[in-house]
Amino acid sequence: MTALTLSTAAASGLRADAIVVGVAKGAKGPVVAPGAEAVDKAYDGALAGILETLGASGGEGEVTKLPAPTGFKAPVVVAVGLGAVPENDDTFSAEALRRAAGAAARALAGAKKAVFALPITDAADAGVLAEGAALGAYAFDAYKENGKDAKNGKAPLAEVTLLGGKPRDAAYKAALARATAVTEELNRARDLINTPPNDLYPESFAAVATAAGKEHGIKVQVLDEKALQKGGYGGILGVGAGSAAAPRLVKLSYTSPKATKHLAFVGKGITYDSGGISLKPAGHNETMKCDMSGAAAVFAAVVSAARLGLEVNVTGWLALAENMPSGSATRPGDVLRMYSGKTVEVLNTDAEGRLVLADALWKASEEKPDAIIDVATLTGAMVLALGNRTFGVMANDDAFRTAIVEAAEEVGEESWPMPLPEHLRKGMDSPTADIANMGERMGGGLVAGLFLKEFVGEGITWAHLDIAGPAFNESGPFGYTPKGGTGSAVRTLVRLAELTASGDLG
């Protein structure tokens, strides 16, 4: 994990492999951003012109390297694009800073230390820069020889010093501590998502959660296949029936003695999704190790809440199973009796996430939390609707849905409010069972949300986050987002816990 520190020292005197400065896109060419004044002065005020000569424009994420000026202990200056110059003398947005820091950190893979002389006006800016740097420096190298990326042979940037951050100021220290806790847990979620399914399966995922619970004072309860059978968790058992790796339901409980509110997070944890008997075709199953991204997000959010000492009780439910075809697998046409007592006719075994979530949602409802939020890579339909970078938000309360979308925007996650049209419910009517796990094809993401709504306890505020698009990045890295597992929804869940603790949500 990249170490994060603050400093008010002069840029020229700091020993580092590189100094990072910001450059914005102005009407007449690149403009050096605040924070880099001392560096620009060392170039006799000509840094913007030099960068323009080198082809830099200040566009978002653009990275340009040049020799450091005489007298600097760092040998290289790295100019990172922040995008357009803010209008009306406004400051750069938090997300622009976060993305720039991430792009710079990734470009400095192999370096031991970098000094970031990027715009910092307050502790909040320091926090988002720290987040961007730590998330941008991330690399999954557990299966690489000597822990290095095989393509470039470079380890992630080891240390970042934020210039202009006040190391003794309480607000700055708190911002850095928050960024460290959240990014470490988000990167752990990325590690879980990227781990091959032969090493990450329900039992091993549960073991990771148990170890984290012991480390951070979180109570962890694991229901194995015998306990699930005894308890009547037909959805989780039905999905896991075809696999040699038995399912698990993991409960993580973080409690604060000062809490007056209780949030429940529920995560879909299909550690590998072949589609089951409704087998996915070639080209659609190669990345299905990521189908536990919702559970990874929930796990990371609960641990983050514990590390931050938030004054809210947070319970995480990880519904873990592997969806495989075999002689013992659930068949299309089978009927499962869920934990709630309802029966579900399984028309498609590749619509399995809603089955494990249904059991976990009903179990979570028994504790009567103030709100339940489930997170899942649930439907391809949501990807078709919103693309690869935006998750959909559905809820049984419009104000709660709006609050989630606003919280996501605040932390830099793209989301969009989606409806739950009641007329789509009829498509899930079954002649055999209480409900079918499939409905109308058009609006499939909304149909899945309506199915989940059936398993939320009466009177409980609930929301569903379909992160199928942004959970796993199959294209190239951008900003602070790597290729592979992204940790989507972690920061939104943590922010919702913070807002609940402060009394600003619900």
Q: Tens digit of pLDDT for each residue in 369-394?
A: 999 999 999 999 999 999 999 999 99
Using pLDDT thresholds of 50, 70 and 90, give the confidence band for residue 90: confident
Q: One of 354, 401, 425, 495 is an active-site residue; which one? A: 354
| pTM for this entry | 0.97
Query: Is 15 labeled as catalytic in the residue annotation?
Result: no
Q: For residue 340, give the DSSP letter.
A: T
Q: For residue 321, give the DSSP letter.
A: E
Q: For residue 280, give the DSSP letter.
A: P
Using pLDDT thresholds of 50, 70 and 90, give the confidence band for residue 1: confident
Mean pLDDT of 253-277: 98
Q: Percentages helix, strand, coil for the chain, rounded to the nearest 5? A: 35, 20, 40
Q: What is the reported pLDDT for 136?
A: 98
Q: Is the pLDDT of residue 147 over 80?
A: no
Q: Is the pLDDT of residue 506 over 70?
A: no
Query: Is 354 labeled as catalytic in the residue annotation?
Result: yes
What is the length of the chain? 506
Q: What whole-number distance in Å separates Cα of residue 232 and Cα of residue 271?
A: 21
Compare 273 and 148 and report the one with higher pLDDT: 273
Q: What whole-number distance in Å separates Cα of residue 67 and Cα of residue 418?
A: 50
pLDDT in tens, 40-83: 999 999 999 999 999 999 999 999 999 999 999 999 999 999 99
Edge-to-edge order in the sheet of strand 248-254: 219-223, 248-254, 313-323, 262-273, 371-376, 461-466, 391-395, 415-417
Q: What is the reported pLDDT for 89?
A: 77
Q: What is the reported pLDDT for 150?
A: 45
Question: How much is the mean pLDDT over the chain?
Answer: 96
Can you name the residues that pair with 250 across neighbouring β-strands?
222, 318
Q: Give kind and range of the element (H or E) at residue 264.
A: strand 262-273
Torsion of CA 292, 144, 198, 322, to 10 degrees: 10
Distance of CA 232 to the CA centre of its chain: 31
3 state DSSP class of 468: coil
Using pLDDT thresholds of 50, 70 and 90, give the confidence band for residue 152: low
Q: Give kind and range of the element (H or E) at residue 56.
A: none
The token pair that represents 441 in the structure block: 């094809």
Q: Is the pLDDT of residue 212 over 80?
A: yes
Using pLDDT thresholds of 50, 70 and 90, give the confidence band for residue 115: very high
Q: What is the reported pLDDT for 137?
A: 98
Q: What is the reported pLDDT for 456?
A: 98
Q: What whole-number distance in Å separates Cα of residue 16 and Cα of residue 457?
A: 56
Write out the DSSP string of 208-237: HHHHHHHHHT-EEEEE-HHHHHHHT-HHHH
Mean pLDDT of 240-263: 98
Q: What is the reported pLDDT for 148?
A: 59
Say what percent of the chain tops pLDDT 70. 98
Q: Is the pLDDT of residue 149 over 80?
A: no
Q: One of 148, 154, 280, 342 is an active-site residue; which one? A: 280
Q: What is the reported pLDDT for 284?
A: 87
Burial of 75 (0-12, 13-18, 19+ CB in 10 A): exposed
Q: What whole-number distance in Å separates Cα of residue 493 and Cα of residue 498?
A: 9
Provide φ and ψ at 331, rounded to 5°.
-105, 150
Write out the DSSP string of 104-169: HHHHTTT-SEEEEE---SSHHHHHHHHHHHHHHT----TTSGGGS-TTT--PPP-EEEEET--TT-
Q: Is the pLDDT of residue 200 over 50?
A: yes
The token pair that represents 169 in the structure block: 């100021």
Report how far apart, in Å, the C-alpha atoms of 208 and of each of 60, 215, 266, 471 are: 37, 11, 17, 20
The token pair that represents 155 in the structure block: 């380890």
Using pLDDT thresholds of 50, 70 and 90, give the confidence band for residue 145: confident
pLDDT in tens, 6-19: 999 999 999 999 99
Give the angle subtended at the CA of 220 by the CAs of 183 and 244, to the nearest 5°: 95
Using pLDDT thresholds of 50, 70 and 90, give the confidence band for residue 202: very high
Q: Is the pLDDT of residue 358 over 70?
A: yes
